[in-house]
Amino acid sequence: MFIGGNYPMISDPHNLPTSSVALQHEANECLLSGDYAQAISIYEEAIQAQPECKPNYWYLGLSLLLQGQETEAQTTWLFAMADGDSEEIERWTSELAEVLQAEGDRQENLSNYSVAWAIRQHLREIAPTNINNLLHLLLLSIKLEMNIREILTSLELIEMLQAEEINAELDSDLLLTVLRKTFSYAPIEPLSLELTAACVSHVDEPPRLVSILLPLVYEIAYSFKAPELATKFCKLGLRVDPQNLELLRALASFYIYAGEHAKAIETAKLCYSLVEELPEKIYNSYLLLKGIMSAGSYEEEVSLSFKQHELLIKSLIEQQPIGLHNSTVLRLYSAGYFFPYFRDKAETNLRLRNQIARVCQANIEAEKREKVERYRHKLLSIKSTASLTKRLKIGYVSHCLRRHSVGWLTRWIFQYHNREKFEIHAYLINSLRQTDHLQEWYLKKADVAYQGGLKSQNEIAEQINQDEIDILIDLDSITLTNSCEIMALKAAAIQVSWLGWDASGIPTIDYFIADPYVLPESAQDYYQETIWRLPQTYIAINGFEVDVPTLRREDLEIPGDAVVYFSTQRGFKHHPQTTRWQMKIIKEVPNSFFLIKSFGDKESLNDAIIEIAEQEGVSMDRLRFLPEVPSSEIHRANLGIADIVLDTYPYNGATTTLETLWMCIPMVTRVGQQFAARNSYTMMMNAGITEGIAWSDEEYVEWGIRLGKDEKLRQEISWKLRKSRQTAPLWNAKQFTREMEKAYEQMWQRYIEGGS
């Protein structure tokens, strides 16, 4: 093989004349220096001196090939083999292949990928079953950014890997490298899946394959929004490692995302059965809850699962474990995620969330003590010289700065920020690989934006600290646990939660943005964060884009004079008791119909809703289950078909409520104690509407019936909402931004003057 800068000498140099050895050495030096014309001349001289020395032909052909004379190179090689018998030709072919292999490696090491590609193509012609050469060709095609579908098809690599017997010299390290590079280059190309399937049986180290697959499957599912494809890759990994917990957890999550909830529940139960450690059981219990809640139709199982889940969490809090693996810690943050969907017990839910966050904080600080201490010392140093009048650096961290509810709502504060007083940094987590125009807008709108380059929460936290961010805003809360670790590391002077969800309970977060309505006055008693109440509303926008509607009453066989109720029943938000209230309303309002936009296991969720309707005496022909639509803009347009929107409880709408009010449609909401049960309340108050706000179960039903029977009242509310677009705090994003900025300045002043 190619060693120490020289080419392989196939024949024994001791059997060659001294002059021939010298010529070969001189020719090799010319090849290495790129003087191919001189190398050709010397090899021709060597062949004249000793025509029976075959290596000279191999190198002459190689020199011609490197000079771009492919036909002449092939002719040279064929001429040299013309006088051999079958055994000799086989040996000579092996020698030539070794020469081409060595030069292909050398050119690739020099980053001359096109040259290496051409050489390996010739190697393929003389050794078509050399599987390692085909793998190298695929790697080179990726480096040259070729069409991977065309390359895989032309190489017939998949077919060769699928054969029962392949070259015994298959390089398993090379095979895994090819898979990793292919995943990175073309993760959603169908042939990438076929290639993986063909490779699985040749992998002798399952953990290495799984380590390559895991980041891929999450990227496919969430960055490319292709959960069905991600499940197929998971199943391939499970072929070699059937009980791999990480793959099974990923599979359960992707089944949920893809709407295959029965499979998700089955897989989550398997995960639960495979672990004994309490923290792992808690996460697998969470996965099971996620599957059940997403389906929206397992009423009895939901209650039992919640009781079991809460007992597990309480056991963890009692144990206060230290030394947990970082991935386990991050998963624990989400342990209390579903409680607000299940029950309106604000204090109980928050105290559990706070206690979980403290367990996580203790583990993160123990594992990353050096980093935490370094950030702490740097922040103290900066604080000692900080000015009250400086231009504040505001950082927003989120995975939702794209076409997402949070992305639609946050854009207004980016639009109206005073850039003379504030420098805006955006830290986009898990950025999409697909085009997203709203994400691109954020990247342009921020003064400094990071997308894709910062791949881990540690890298993001480090960048935040290097940027010396004064106030860091977490838009994700516990909806993405990566954000939790960033906030736990305390890379910024002041840390705030806003908008994305309720407070996370992380001890290093200083403030939670609220308003006079969205949290009751007693809330500070059980919130870990200091509640910072803005004077009017914790969210404001200037409106929504609205497309052309795709639904009409006649399409749904609903009479023009009917009263149409509407509700969005996402699996998590579906609550049987709320559905009973809604059916009582439908029953009492003549000529009324109920439109339900459901997200979950549609068949089972719809069956559950139909069953409740029948129990309440509502005929199935008064229910309409709406299909999904291509965009949020069309969804908003389709709201125009409704006369009244019936909110969910104990988890209200948020973006859906804003959309309803913007479309000037009356709605009924049940106000509770927790943040999630007061979103619609604060939005209605800040739109100037009190009609439809219910403080009890009975009031919810009463308002629903009254609005259904009183057309004049509906018209009055709709008119008030239309006028509110010009005057209400909810629709004044510029004023809201000024109030947020004033809060930032006051937080900074409190910080500089020694407060928290």
pLDDT digits (tens, 9 = 90+) for 533-557: 999 999 999 999 999 999 999 999 9
Q: Are residues 489 and 453 in the same domain?
A: yes
Tally of structural domains, the chain: 4
**What's 662's domain CATH number?**
3.40.50.2000
* Residue 601 pLDDT > 60: no
**What's 449's domain CATH number?**
3.40.50.11380
Residue 746 class from Cβ within 10 Å (0-12 exposed, 13-18 middle, 19+ buried)?
A: exposed
pLDDT digits 0-9 by tens, 108-143: 999 999 999 999 999 999 999 899 999 999 999 999
390, amino acid identity: K
Residue 548 is assigned to a structural domain of this protein: no
Question: Hey, what are 366's tokens?
Answer: 């123990």
Residues 659, 667 contacting (CB under 8 angstroms): no
Question: Hey, what are 367's tokens?
Answer: 């594992």
Residue 231 is assigned to a structural domain of this protein: no
Q: Is the pTM of this model over 0.85?
A: yes
Q: How far apart are the first and last CA of the chain?
A: 68
pLDDT of 637 reads 94
**Omega into 650 within 30° of 0, i.e. cis?**
yes
Q: Are residues 388 and 324 in the same domain?
A: no
Domain interval for residue 324: 261-366
* Residue 15 pLDDT > 50: no
* Residue 251 pLDDT > 90: yes
Percent helix, percent strand, percent coil in the chain, to nearest 5: 60, 10, 30
Q: Distance (Å, rounded) from C-alpha 83 to C-alpha 353?
A: 83
pLDDT of 21 reads 72
Identify the three-state secondary structure at position 535. coil
The total of other beta-carbon atoms located within 10 Å of residue 216's CB is 21
- Mean of the per-residue pLDDT values of the chain: 92
- The H-or-E segment that residue 514 falls in is strand 511-514
pLDDT digits 0-9 by tens, 477-531: 999 899 999 999 999 999 999 999 999 999 999 999 999 999 999 999 999 999 9
Q: Are residues 313 and 455 in the same domain?
A: no
Q: Distance (Å, rounded) from C-alpha 221 to C-alpha 227?
A: 4
Q: Are residues 353 and 394 in the same domain?
A: no
Give the orientation angle of helix 172-185 with respect to helix 190-200, to 10 degrees: 160
pLDDT of 428 reads 94
Tokens 């898990």, residue located: 430
Of 346, 366, 386, the residue at which a domain comes to its end is: 366
pLDDT digits 0-9 by tens, 30-59: 888 889 999 899 989 888 888 888 988 999
* Residue 273 pLDDT > 70: yes
CA angle centred on 573, ends 288 and 609, rounded to 5°: 95
Residue 171 is assigned to a structural domain of this protein: yes
